[in-house]
Amino acid sequence: MESVTISELKNWKKNKIKFAAITAYDFSFAKLFSNQGIPVILTGDSLGMTIQGHSSTLSVKIKDIEYHTKAVRKGAPNTFLLSDLPFMSYYNTKQALKSTAKIIRSGANMIKIEGGKWLVEIIKELSDRSILVCGHIGLTPQSFNYLSGYKVQGRDASDAKKLIDDALLLEESGIQMLVVECIPEKLAKQITENLSIPVIGIGSGKYTDGQILVMHDLLGITEGKKPSFTKNFLSESGSVQKAIQKYIYEVKKGIFPNKKYSF
């Protein structure tokens, strides 16, 4: 696979070509996903739960993201790689620049940060230094205490308007991609249509430009209660490779997510 760039992802949006993304945290899975044609990988702070065994993402530190980003980059040298800035690693502009430098040096193409209006100056500073930034709104796991748990966001009119306003403001500030998590399908569609940058959904319906799932959810190996918007692709595929191929196919064709896996 040739190297995937942000320009290519923007062209896919323009030409209404949907794409699949997935999380990865190590060399072996990153290589497997890349070999099957996954164009976008996220080394997310979800590793706090999937790899470290914590109940949230809040314990993850920059050194953890650095370590796993390096491993993923070795396994998927041509994949477009996003990496999260973890909790409290970007609380002001100076800290955000310091944290971002570490992650970009580890091999990421783009960093992802959670939040709305308060991020404007940080995003501008990063963008001015030619750093690609992905926003993340809706259910933002780093704020799960403030949000009183993992709940669908944007259900009422005022919350929906705030998310739309945040999305537009973040794009104006310089983000080059946006993740919308656990928001109603209709709202995700409206945000996607109003932005010129790629919008990736998770638990947000089929109308976004791309879809992303945590690899453990996609492969059906998540312990305990599983998010209702996730689908076990491995159970009906026979191998991890075929599960990834099926996931890519269903996202491209608009088959996944259907109503069963949407709000």
Set 114, 171, 181, 185: catalytic member: 181
Beta-carbon contacts of residue 126 (< 8 Å; ≥ 6 apart): 96, 97, 100, 111, 133, 174
Q: Is 181 a catalytic residue?
A: yes
Give the chain as a DSSP string. Answer: -PPP-HHHHHHHHHTT--EEEEE--SHHHHHHHHHTT--EEEE-TTHHHHTS--SSSTT--HHHHHHHHHHHHHH-TTSEEEEE--TTSSSSHHHHHHHHHHHHHTT-SEEEEE-SGGGHHHHHHHHHTT-EEEEEEES-GGGTTTTTSS-----SHHHHHHHHHHHHHHHHHT-SEEEEES--HHHHHHHHHH-SS-EEEESS-S-SSEEEE-HHHHTT---SSPPTT---SGGGTSSHHHHHHHHHHHHHTT-SS-GGG--
Catalytic residue ranges: 181
